[in-house]
Amino acid sequence: KILILDFGSQVTQLIARRIREAHVFCEIHPYDVSEDFVRNYGAKGIILSGGPNSVIDGDTPRAPQAVFEAGVPVLGICYGMQTMAEQLGGACENGTIREFGYAEIRAHGHTELLRDIEDFVTPEGHGMLKVWMSHGDKVQKMPEGFKLMASTPACPVAGMADETRRFYGVQFHPEVTHTVQGKALLERFVVGICGARQDWVMGDYITEAVENIRKQVGDEEVILGLSGGVDSSVAAALIHRAIGDQLTCVFVDHGLLRLDEGQKVMDMFARNLGVKVIQVDASDAFLGKLAGVTDPERKRKIIGAEFVEVFQAESGKLKSAKWLAQGTIYPDVIESAGKGKNAAHAIKSHHNVGGLPDTLHLKLLEPLTELFKDEVRELGVALGLPREMVYRHPFPGPGLGVRILGEVKSEYADLLRRADDIFISELRDTVASAHDAAAGLCTAEDIGKSWYDLTSQAFAVFLPVKSVGVMGDGRTYDYVVALRAVQTTDFMTAHWAHLPHELLGTVSNRIINEVRGINRVVYDISGKPPATIEWE
Distance separating alpha carbons of residues 481 and 524, to the nearest angstrom: 10
Candidates 244, 394, 429, 513: give the one binding ligand XMP (CB under 6 A). Answer: 394
- For ligand XMP, which residue of 491, 509, 522, 525 counts as binding (CB under 6 A)? 491
The region of 62-70, 88-96, 349-357, 465-473 touching ligand XMP under the rule CB under 6 A is: 349-357
d(CA 151, CA 220): 54
Which residue in the set 248, 326, 457, 519 belongs to the binding site for ligand XMP (CB under 6 A)? 457
Q: Which of 90/398 has CB closer to ligand XMP?
A: 398
Question: Of the residues 86, 99, 163, 175, which is catalytic?
Answer: 175
Annotated catalytic residue 135? no
Q: How many CB atoms are located within 10 Å of the residue 406 CB?
A: 16
| Residue 348 interacting with ligand XMP (CB under 6 A) | yes
Residue 301 sits in the site that holds ligand XMP (CB under 6 A): no
> Is residue 479 exposed (0-12), middle (13-18) or buried (19+ Cβ within 10 Å)?
buried
- Environment class of residue 512 by beta-carbon count within 10 Å: exposed (0-12), middle (13-18) or buried (19+)? buried
Given 108, 173, 254, 351, the catalytic residue: 173
**Segment near ligand XMP (CB under 6 A); pick from 37-45, 332-340, 395-403, 464-472:** 395-403
The verdict on 351 binding ligand XMP (CB under 6 A) reads: yes
Q: CB 278 → ligand XMP: shortest distance, Å?
A: 22
Our CB check for ligand XMP shows the closer of 89 and 394 to be: 394
Are 456 and 493 in contact, with CB atoms under 8 Å apart? no
Q: Is 502 among the catalytic positions?
A: no
Q: Which is nearer to ligand XMP, 15 or 400 (CB)?
A: 400
HSE, side-chain direction, 13 A CA sphere, residue 434: 0
Q: Which of 325, 387, 389 is nearest to 356 (CA)?
A: 325
Phi, psi of 216 (to 5 degrees): -65, -50
- Report how far residue 235's alpha carbon sits from residue 70's, in angstroms, rounded to the nearest whole number: 37
Q: What is the DSSP string of 193-258?
A: IT-------HHHHHHHHHHHHHHHHTT-EEEEE--SSHHHHHHHHHHHHHHGGGEEEEEEE-S-S-
If the CB atoms of residues 26 and 460 are measured against ligand XMP, the closer one turns out to be 460
Does residue number 300 form part of the binding site for ligand XMP (CB under 6 A)?
yes
Q: Which stretch binds ligand XMP (CB under 6 A): 102-110, 153-161, 364-372, 392-400?
A: 392-400
**Near ligand XMP in 396-425, by CB under 6 A:** 396-398
Q: Does 153 bind ligand XMP (CB under 6 A)?
A: no
Report if residue 533 touches ligand XMP, rule: CB under 6 A: yes
254 is known as an active-site residue: no
What whole-number distance in Å separates Cα of residue 320 and Cα of residue 299?
Answer: 34
Beta-carbon-side half-sphere exposure of residue 472 (alpha carbons within 13 Å): 2
Give residue 408's identity as a one-letter amino acid code. V
State the residues that interact with ligand XMP by CB under 6 A. 300, 347-348, 350-352, 394, 396-398, 457, 491, 528, 532-534
Active site residues: 78, 173, 175
